[in-house]
Amino acid sequence: MSQIDSRAWQGKSVLVVDDYQAVRKTIKELFANMGLKVTEAENGVEALSRLEEKPHDMIVSDLVMAEMDGFELTETLKNNAKFRSIPVVILSTHSDYKYIFRALRLGADDYLIKPPTTEMVQIVLSRVFNHQW
């Protein structure tokens, strides 16, 4: 892979959706250290509310959450013209292909396994914001 150009995502906003505060804090720090502005939500319902308040450039969501899980959130976003173009990246401990394929079929743009490495996050950010595959 060629050199990763982080300029494309500097200052972009990301909504991190996870039901565990410790995970949100860790992911928030990781993304903030890469130059992104981070907002947090505890579940899919709260994420939709945050998106109504303020648009975001990307959503990073866990799969297993109360009220509205990551599958439901992804499907809801991709079926709504207002939010359809926002990239959704799933971040989950589930590494089984059934979870990955289901998330991608519902419209997720990428999938990361917890805990994500800095290099993997940079690759996903490059895919999302630089359109590099």
| This prediction's pTM | 0.93
Angle at 81 between CA 46 and CA 27, to 5 degrees: 40
Beta strands in the chain (DSSP E): 13-17, 37-41, 58-61, 88-92, 110-113
Give the sheet arrangement for strand 37-41, strand by strand. 37-41, 13-17, 58-61, 88-92, 110-113
Quote the percentage of the chain above a pLDDT of 70: 96
Domain ranges of the chain: 6-130
Beta strands in 25-121 (DSSP E): 37-41, 58-61, 88-92, 110-113
Q: What pLDDT sits at residue 7? A: 87
Q: What pLDDT sits at residue 1? A: 46
Contacts of 72 (CB under 8 A, 6+ apart): 44
Q: What pLDDT sits at residue 75? A: 98
Instruction: Say if CB 121 and CB 112 are below 8 A apart.
Output: yes
Q: What pLDDT sits at residue 130? A: 84
What is the gyration radius of the CA atoms in the chain, in angstroms? 13
Query: What is the CATH number assigned to the segment(s) 6-130?
Result: 3.40.50.2300
Mean pLDDT of the chain: 94
Q: Which positions of the chain have pLDDT values less than 50?
A: 1
